[in-house]
Amino acid sequence: MTINTMRAVVLHGKENVAIEEVPVLSPGVGEVRIKVERALTCGTDVKVFRRGHHARMIQPPALFGHEFAGVIEAVGSDVDEWNVGDRVVAANSAPCDNCFYCLHGRQELCEDLLFFNGAFAERAIIPGRIAAKNMLRVSSNTPLECAAMCEPLACVVRSLELAPVEPGSTVVVLGLGPIGLMFVRLCVLAGCSVIAVGRREARLRLASKFGATETLNIDEQDDVVSKVRDCTPGTFGADVVIEAIGTPEAWSSAIAMVRKAGTVNLFGGCSAGSTITLDTARLHYDEVTLRASFHHTPTSFRRALQLISNSEVKAPSLISTHISLDEVPRILRELADGELDIIKACVVS
C-alpha cells in the first residue's frame, strides 16, 4: 500500500500550530525515513510556540518538534549504514565539521549547524548529514521514549564538559525543569553534593530521588540567595551554581549564590535582547568565573544515549504523561499559559 499523506503538527507563527495532512516524502540521497514512535515536548518547543520562530532552529511554516525516536521504514540511495527496521534516535542537528568552530572542537557553535524539525508527526525524513553523523542505534531493551530524551540530555552533558564539576563540590542547580533535573542527576553521578532549588513539590521530590542532598522551594523563601548560601559549607556560597531557568533574574541570583573563585554555569537561554547588570566586584575581587553553553555535539549525544541505556539517568521519571498527536496543540497552549505542571509529555503517534 502506498502511503501518500501523514498527520503532522505544523508551526505557522506565534501561538499558531495545527495538525495537518502533509505529504509523505521518499528519502533522497543519504536520507532515511523514520516512522516516529515517540516524541517528547521540550521547553524550547514552548518558547518557539510563544514566539512563533527560533532565530537559529526553526522558521514558520515548518514541521514542529525535535525530540524523537522511531524505526527506519525507508532508506535513500547511498545509505549503507542503516536498514529498514533499525530502531534509532536522531539528534535535531548535525555540525559541518569544516568550519572554524568545528575544527577547533566546538561543534555546538558550528557556523552551518543543520537543524531538523518535524518530530510531532507520523513520519520524519532525516537529512543525510544527521543520518550520517548524529543518528544512533537504540538497543532493544531501551524504550524509544527514553531514547528520545537524548537531545536535551546531550545539551546537559555538553554543558558539563565545558564547565566541569569536581567530586566533593557543592553544586546548586537553580530550576528543576527536565534540564535542571538532568543536571542534578549528572552532578550527583559526578560525586557532587547537590542543592536543588525549584518551585514545585513534585519536582523537588524528584530531585531528592535523583540524589540531591538538599532541596529548597523558592516560593517558601524570602531571600533565596542567602538561604542557599546558608546551606553551603562555611556559608561561603556554592562551588558551582548551574542556572537552568533562563531569565535575567535567575542569572543574577545564580551569580549571587556562588563562592569566591567559584563557577557559575549560565545554561538557560533568556529571551532575545535581554540583559543583566553585573556587580563588577563579584567578578574582580571574588574571582568568579562565568560560563555558558548552548546545544550539543555528536560526542555528547552518544554519551547521553549511554547514560539513558544504562539507566544512570532514569528517563521514565521525567515523562509525566502520554498524549496523542492530536493533543499536541492543546498541550503546547496549556504549557505556554503555565496551566499545566508536567515535566515532559510523550507523544505517541
Binding site for Zn ion (CB under 5 A): 42, 44, 67, 95-96, 99, 102, 110, 152
Q: What is the DSSP letter of 318?
A: G
Helix (H) or strand (E) holding 171: strand 170-174
Of 96 and 189, nearer to Zn ion (C-beta) is: 96
Of 44 and 263, nearer to Zn ion (C-beta) is: 44
Closest CA to 167 of 185, 182, 189: 189
Shortest Å distance, C-beta 254 to Zn ion: 21
Shortest Å distance, C-beta 219 to Zn ion: 26
Continuous H helices in the chain: 43-51, 100-103, 128-133, 144-147, 150-162, 178-189, 201-209, 224-230, 248-257, 280-284, 298-309, 328-336
Whether the Cβ atoms of residue 242 and residue 173 lie closer than 8 Å to each other: yes
Of 112 and 337, nearer to Zn ion (C-beta) is: 112
Of 31 and 108, nearer to Zn ion (C-beta) is: 108
**Residues whose CB falls within 8 Å of the CB of residue 330, separated by 6 or more in sequence, listed in order:** none
C-alpha cell at 343: 515535566
Shortest Å distance, C-beta 141 to Zn ion: 24
CA 203/CA 308 separation, integer angstroms: 19
**Residue written as grid cell 530531585:** 207
Shortest Å distance, C-beta 66 to Zn ion: 6
Of 76 and 127, nearer to Zn ion (C-beta) is: 127
Of 97 and 341, nearer to Zn ion (C-beta) is: 97
CA 243/CA 241 separation, integer angstroms: 6
Shortest Å distance, C-beta 115 to Zn ion: 12
Whether the Cβ atoms of residue 288 and residue 270 lie closer than 8 Å to each other: no
**Residue written as grid cell 557543592:** 170
Of 99 and 348, nearer to Zn ion (C-beta) is: 99
Shortest Å distance, C-beta 121 to Zn ion: 16
C-alpha cell at 148: 528520545
Q: Which phi and psi angles does 146 have, rounded to 5°?
A: -80, -45
Shortest Å distance, C-beta 233 to Zn ion: 34
Q: Where are the beta strands (DSSP E) in 14-66?
A: 16-23, 32-40, 62-63
Shortest Å distance, C-beta 45 to Zn ion: 7
C-alpha cell at 84: 529498514
Of 66 and 259, nearer to Zn ion (C-beta) is: 66
- Helix and strand counts by DSSP (H, E) for the chain: 12, 18
Shortest Å distance, C-beta 320 to Zn ion: 15
Start-to-end C-alpha separation, the chain: 19
Of 74 and 340, nearer to Zn ion (C-beta) is: 340
Q: Which residues are bridge partners to 321 per DSSP?
A: 345
Q: Which phi and psi angles does 107 have, rounded to 5°?
A: -60, -25
CA 31/CA 320 separation, integer angstroms: 33
